[in-house]
Amino acid sequence: MNIGIIGSGGREHALCLKLNESKIIEKIYCFPGNAGTSKIAENYDINIDNFSEIKKISEKKNIELLIVGPEKPLVNGIVDFFKNTKIKIFGPNKISSQLEGSKTFTKMLCKKFNIPTSNFEIFKNREDAIRFLNNSNFPIVIKADGLAAGKGVYICGSKEESISAVHEIFDGKFGNAELVLIEEFLKGEEMSYFVICDGKNYSFFQTAQDHKRVGEGDTGSNTGGMGAYSPSRLNNLELQNKINKKIIEPTLKGLEDLNTQYVGFLYVGLMIVDNEPYLIEYNVRMGDPECQTILPLLKSDLGKIILSCCNNDLKSEKIEWLNEKSICFVLCSNGYPGNYKKNIKIDNIKNLEIKEKGHFIFHAGTKSIDKDIYSDGGRVLNVVITSDTFTDCKNKALEVLKKINWMDGFYRKDIGYKVTNL
């Protein structure tokens, strides 16, 4: 069958490469894709918020299945839009996507089903929020409701900092925020846990750990993700069982009570405190760059797995993994996550041949002009290595990054520092 992948990041390039191996897929179209996907698929430069345009092209190209990478079209209801058409679409519908789109929706669900999460209060105006902060302990976490592209979360060490965060949010820094969440600060180690769901059942889809901060040692501003490794060093069967029973199953039950079903990848952002999981957030998609570390470890046919989810038949698929480690380093434009320049040539990528097994370069913000590759975003390239040890992955990834030697970009050299030898 022909399929379409919606999105343009490293996650979508990794999906594209894996789906290109599928026995059931003939041709892949990417909406809009990037310079990397253009080597294995046909890119269509369209606005992914325009669902009618996606439908028109999908019909023209005989696309039978669409796979949605990023959250925004999901939260805006792309799955509902395609519901009564002949085109299957993989991802959660608008109601279920509130798990990512509305932090208050998720917190209320946690309350109702006793799902472990930090204690929280929701405020509609700044006066009440500030009154609450006057009697709080610090650090404390302040969040804008709604999608904020990984921003909109403040970890505040003092009353002054937290009051200024409340003002920034209500002043509209992250769009029209009508609600502010104030949460207890959880002290532990984070883990990203993934499952894939078919509306009735779900299967484990690996763990990872991303590095969100821009600076080495996990310092500085938050970013979309500077790198990741898989599996997480925290995962164990006992913990996995707790996550499934205490968090995922009640969540899916909560959605069922709303007369809906969850189909798609579900990303469970957790804080692990003494081998106990606490939900920090849900994302209704794969993580980026977690996806780039996880998919190279997948042995099974991703196309078949996704199609079985669209047919409510995930049980018929066995999901198998390589018993290896994986690390992803993200090469960014200088200045990211602040201001950065675009359209800068990445000279050495053109002649860099990646032939070794377990070595991947996924493109994120890139575009090709003639035969050259140019930067087109903040996160530009992802170097991913799979191997028997994390240390080997890291050393090999750093060698590739040295060869790319892009003077207009930077990367964190310490990705996976908790699992590698220095």
**280 near ligand AMP (CB under 6 A):** yes
Q: How many residues bind ligand AMP (CB under 6 A)?
A: 13
Classify residue 347 by burial, with Cβ atoms within 10 Å: 0-12, 13-18, 19+: middle
Closest separation in Å from C-beta 225 to ligand GLY: 4
Nearer to ligand AMP, 187 or 355 (CB): 187
Assign 306 to helix, strand or coil.
Answer: helix
- The only residue of 153, 197, 279, 306 in contact with ligand AMP, by rule CB under 6 A: 153
Distance between CA atoms of residues 179 and 160, nearest Å: 20
Residue 51: which residues within 8 A CB-CB, separation 6 or more?
73, 78, 81, 82
Closest separation in Å from C-beta 75 to ligand AMP: 14
Nearer to ligand GLY, 210 or 324 (CB): 210
**Interacting residues with ligand GLY (CB under 6 A):** 150, 210, 225, 283, 287-288, 290
* Residue 281 site contact among ligand GLY, ligand AMP, none (CB < 5 to 8 Å, cut-off depends on kind): ligand AMP
Nearer to ligand GLY, 144 or 373 (CB): 144
Distance between CA atoms of residues 38 and 142, nearest Å: 41
The answer to whether the beta carbons of residues 82 and 40 sit under 8 Å apart is no
- The only residue of 53, 190, 216, 249 in contact with ligand AMP, by rule CB under 6 A: 190
Nearer to ligand GLY, 146 or 308 (CB): 146
Binding mask 59-98 for ligand AMP (x = CB under 6 A): ----------------------------------------
Return the structure tokens found at 409: 């970009």
The answer to whether the beta carbons of residues 297 and 194 sit under 8 Å apart is no
Closest separation in Å from C-beta 180 to ligand GLY: 21
Binding mask 160-189 for ligand AMP (x = CB under 6 A): -----------------------x-xx---
Nearer to ligand GLY, 262 or 267 (CB): 267
Half-sphere exposure of 360 (CA within 13 A, CB side): 32
Nearer to ligand AMP, 220 or 269 (CB): 269
Could you tell me which residues are beta bridge partners of residue 263? 198
**281 near ligand AMP (CB under 6 A):** yes
**144 near ligand AMP (CB under 6 A):** no
CA 364 to chain centre: 13
Residue 232: which residues within 8 A CB-CB, separation 6 or more?
191, 192, 193, 207, 208, 209
Return the structure tokens found at 264: 């798609």
- The only residue of 19, 67, 141, 361 in contact with ligand AMP, by rule CB under 6 A: 141
Strand order in the sheet with 153-156: 120-123, 180-184, 140-144, 153-156
Gyration radius (Cα) of the chain, Å:
21
Could you tell me which residues are beta bridge partners of residue 183? 120, 141
Distance between CA atoms of residues 364 and 301, nearest Å: 23
Residues of this chain, 100-139, that bind ligand AMP according to CB under 6 A? 118
Binding site for ligand AMP (CB under 6 A): 118, 141, 153, 155, 183, 185-186, 190, 212, 269, 271, 280-281
